[in-house]
Amino acid sequence: MSDNNQNRASRRRLLQASMGMAAVAAFTPFAVRAAQRELRVGYQKGLLSLLKKRGTLEQRLAPLGVTVKWIEFSAGPVQLEALNVGSIDFGDVGEAPPIFAQANGTPIVYIAATVPRPAVEAVLIPAASAIRTVADLKGKKIALNKGSNVHYFLVKLLQKNGLNYSDVNPVWLSPADARAAFEKGVVDAWVIWEPFLAAAEKTLSARILADASGVVKNRAYYFSSRDYSQKNGDVLAIAVEELNRIDIWGRANRSDLAAELAAVWGLPKPIVDTLVARSSFGTEPITRSILAEQQLIADTFFDLKLIPRQIDVRDAAPATLG
pLDDT tens digits along 271-286: 999 999 999 999 999 9
Q: Is the dihedral of CA 303, 309, 313, 316 positive or negative?
A: negative
- Which amino acid, residue 210? A
- Alpha carbons within 13 angstroms on the beta-carbon side of residue 2 total 3
CB atoms within 10 A of CB 235: 22
Which among 37, 40, 38, 46 is positioned nearest to 221, based on CA atoms?
46
| Separation in Å, CA 208 to CA 48, 125, 189, 254 | 28, 6, 10, 22
CB 155 within 8 A of CB 191: no
pLDDT at 12 over 80: no
What angle is formed at CA 165 by the lines to CA 139 and CA 75, rounded to 5 degrees? 105
Cα separation, 174 vs 178, in Å, equals 6
Which among 134, 138, 114 is positioned nearest to 122, based on CA atoms?
134
- Reported confidence tier of residue 164, pLDDT bands at 50, 70, 90: very high
For residue range 55-102, list pLDDT tens digits in order: 999 999 999 999 999 999 887 888 999 999 999 999 999 999 999 999
CB 291 within 8 A of CB 98: no
The more confident residue out of 76 and 16 is 76
**Would you call 187 helix, strand, or coil by DSSP?**
coil
pLDDT at 270 over 70: yes
- Reported confidence tier of residue 35, pLDDT bands at 50, 70, 90: low
- Residue 62 makes CB contacts below 8 A (sequence gap 6+) with 31
DSSP code of residue 305: T
Residue 76 pLDDT:
81
For residue range 97-142, list pLDDT tens digits in order: 999 999 999 999 999 999 999 999 999 999 999 999 999 999 999 9
For residue range 176-235, list pLDDT tens digits in order: 999 999 999 999 999 999 999 999 999 999 999 999 999 999 999 999 999 999 999 999
pLDDT at 21 over 70: no
